[in-house]
Structure 1
Amino acid sequence: MNMPAFPDSAHPISWPEGKQAAASFTFDVDAESCTIAHDPQCTRRMSLMTHQSYGPKVAVPRLLQILDRQDIRATFFVPGFTAESYPDTVRRIVDGGHEVAHHGYLHEPMQGIDAATEARYLDRGLEALAKAAGVEPVGYRAPWWELNWHSAALLADRGFLYDSSLLDGDAPYRFSVAPGDSRDLVEIPVDWALDDWEQYAFYPGVTGSGVIESPVKVLELWTLEAEAHHAAGSCFVLTNHPFISGRPSKAVALERLMERVRFMDGMWVTTLEQIAEHTRSSVTEIHSHARIEVPSFPDTGAVFTPAAVREGVSRLAQR
């Protein structure tokens, strides 16, 4: 079937020779951390804790087998607390040839926190990943995809290459970390339609509506998304949580999706690190993001600072 092409005209990108689009399978290994951050009293709920520990104990080994069978290298975003609690799981991910990236320390709520507090979260997560498996991550995904305006500069200070938390594109791009700052990061955008949380996540008193979708329906949804990204020459980024999509029938559907995606003609299936390296090397446009200030709503209205694009230098041009 020939799909109509709807490219992301705001973020033009060319892929490596012989490739027309990119795809990455990513996993947020939250384990117990996301429920504890939601409510520390959750630790008193034995059944809930086992629901979350299923991820590193059962699902990650299963997913690693699937990825090996499909010859796919994936990106695993690991909170520092998960790395401290399950260091053997993190080492298995690394030994499997996959990327391990940063996902906070305890999957902390990010909305409205100050820069100093966020810096402590980042540094504690970095220390945990280094101790567990000698990992020095180049990628970051904010818990709940909630990046703050000061986050990018904190990441640049620590040598990160890319972020994958924003939702304003279908293709990777470079963006300035702050007004007046010459540094930039690569952004690899995400999409709630490509997150298993919205399809499957449910636990009484914690999350979800109680409607757990059929993997058949989810496979159809994600296949259509992958086909559209392939036709558009953009970047398909799927976000899965092992304690959700590592369950048996969901894992079967996920492997079927992987097989479909990797056999799409010219689809580059790789880690976010590799996609970010290519973007930094080949893209020269550096974007800023529109900002809105509301000093005293509604009396004074709002002030809109539009997004902008400036020309930078690619790594290829620097060589």
Structure 2
Amino acid sequence: MTDSTWHGGAAAVVTLTFDVDAETPILAAGRRYADHLMTMSHQAYGPDVGVPRILELLAELGVPATFFVPGWVAEHRPGLAATIVERGHEVAHHSYSHRAPTSLGAAEERADFERALAVFDAQGIEIRGHRAALWEATRVTLDLIAEHGLAYDSSLMGDDRPYRLEVDGGTFVELPVHWSLDDWEQYAYLPSPQIGSVIESPRKVLEMWRAELDAMRQYRCLFNLCMHPFLTGRPSRLVALRELIEYAQSCGDVAFARCRDLAESAAADPTLLPRIPPTVTPDPGTYPD
């Protein structure tokens, strides 16, 4: 990777990403949960309390971020996306309803994808990137990204550096994710619908993420951190995030970028040759449905 340019000379690049899901992942599990007021208030904490708190932290530390927002959330909180953009950050596509693409037919997925784009277009929000709900992208997902001319996706796990994906409709950049850099596995808990079982200490999470960043600095990787404002927006967790950012800044060889800006750098990197999406054709006799 010595001739690559996507990293701009940094030992590692950090993308701070926030999935502003609000009520959508719970409603996707069943609209009956709309009457569960504890659950709905737990989710509303994200955009109503967590996002403003996160925006203040980012401003204090002078780092950019990308906020993946479902269209339903932007529609029901019409000033939210504009506020994020006005603070210098990026708003990106995170479906309309937060239903996993793997649970939808092709026509349903297209309708959901394009409904979100229509919401952002009506609000004057330019969309350059996408992240699938639950990271459960399908081949239809990738085709829609290319068809609508988006610059990047951030749903797959085929590398720990940016790479380019080639589908029939064109080529775009993949900014890969991983469960180890997601606060959901650390902090998420709800009794109904049942989500998680153990709420980890922010001290443990900070230690784990610092260790990953240090290793990624050795291998010149993308530290693509996925967080949720209703989780990381809680006080002790936000303090841990502050410590992580300050540690990265103190290293002197770590860069911070919005996903759209990193995707632009990656698209211009001649060493990132296009790959095709994973193609697996299982034998039905061996692997029945």
Q: Same fold by TM-score, threshold 0.5 exceeded?
A: yes
Change (3 A) 1:157 1:289: closer
Who is 1:200 aligned against?
187
Match of 1:136 among 91, 110, 126: 126
Alignment of 1:1-319 (within 5 A): 13-15=4-6, 17-132=8-123, 134-178=124-168, 183-283=170-270, 284-294=272-282, 296-298=284-286
- RMSD of equivalent CA atoms: 1.8
2:61 alignment partner AA: Q
Change (3 A) 1:286 1:42: same
Q: Find the aligned partners of 1:61 and 1:257 in 2 and give their Cα distance.
A: 19
Secondary structure class of the residue paired with 2:101: coil
Cα deviations across residues 54-109 of structure 1 (Å, max 9, x unaligned)? 01111100000000011011000000010011122222111100000000001012
1:163 alignment partner AA: D
Tell me if the contact between 1:112 and 1:148 (Cα under 8 Å) persists in the aligned partners: no
2:128 alignment partner AA: V
Q: Deviation of residue 19 (structure 1)? A: 2.3
Q: Find the aligned partners of 1:130 and 1:253 in 2 and give their Cα distance.
A: 35
Cα deviations across residues 6-52 of structure 1 (Å, max 9, x unaligned)? xxx7x984345442321110000000011001111110101111000
Secondary structure class of the residue paired with 2:150: coil
Structure whose CA Rg is larger: 1
Q: Which fold has the larger relative contact order, with Cα–Cα distance below 8 Å and residues 6 or more apart in sequence?
A: 2
Cα deviations across residues 163-208 of structure 1 (Å, max 9, x unaligned)? 0000111000101124xx5x21100000001000000000102243
Q: How many residues of Structure 1 are paired with residues of Structure 2 in the alignment? A: 287
Q: Deviation of residue 247 (structure 1)? A: 0.5
1:135 alignment partner AA: I
Q: Deviation of residue 265 (structure 1)? A: 2.2
Q: Find the aligned partners of 1:185 and 1:115 in 2 and give their Cα distance.
A: 20
2:154 alignment partner AA: S
Q: Find the aligned partners of 1:247 and 1:200 in 2 and give their Cα distance.
A: 10
Change (3 A) 1:292 1:15: closer
Tell me if the contact between 1:15 and 1:21 (Cα under 8 Å) persists in the aligned partners: no
Normalised by the length of structure 2, the TM-score is 0.94
Q: Find the aligned partners of 2:4 and 2:26 in 1 and give their Cα distance.
A: 38
Change (3 A) 1:12 1:147: farther
Q: Find the aligned partners of 1:12 and 1:238 in 2 and give their Cα distance.
A: 25
1:138 alignment partner AA: R
Tell me if the contact between 1:126 and 1:136 (Cα under 8 Å) persists in the aligned partners: no
Q: Find the aligned partners of 2:8 and 2:193 in 1 and give their Cα distance.
A: 46
Q: Find the aligned partners of 2:278 and 2:81 in 1 and give their Cα distance.
A: 37
What residue ranges of structure 2 are gaps of 5+ in the alignment?
A: none
Normalised by the length of structure 1, the TM-score is 0.86
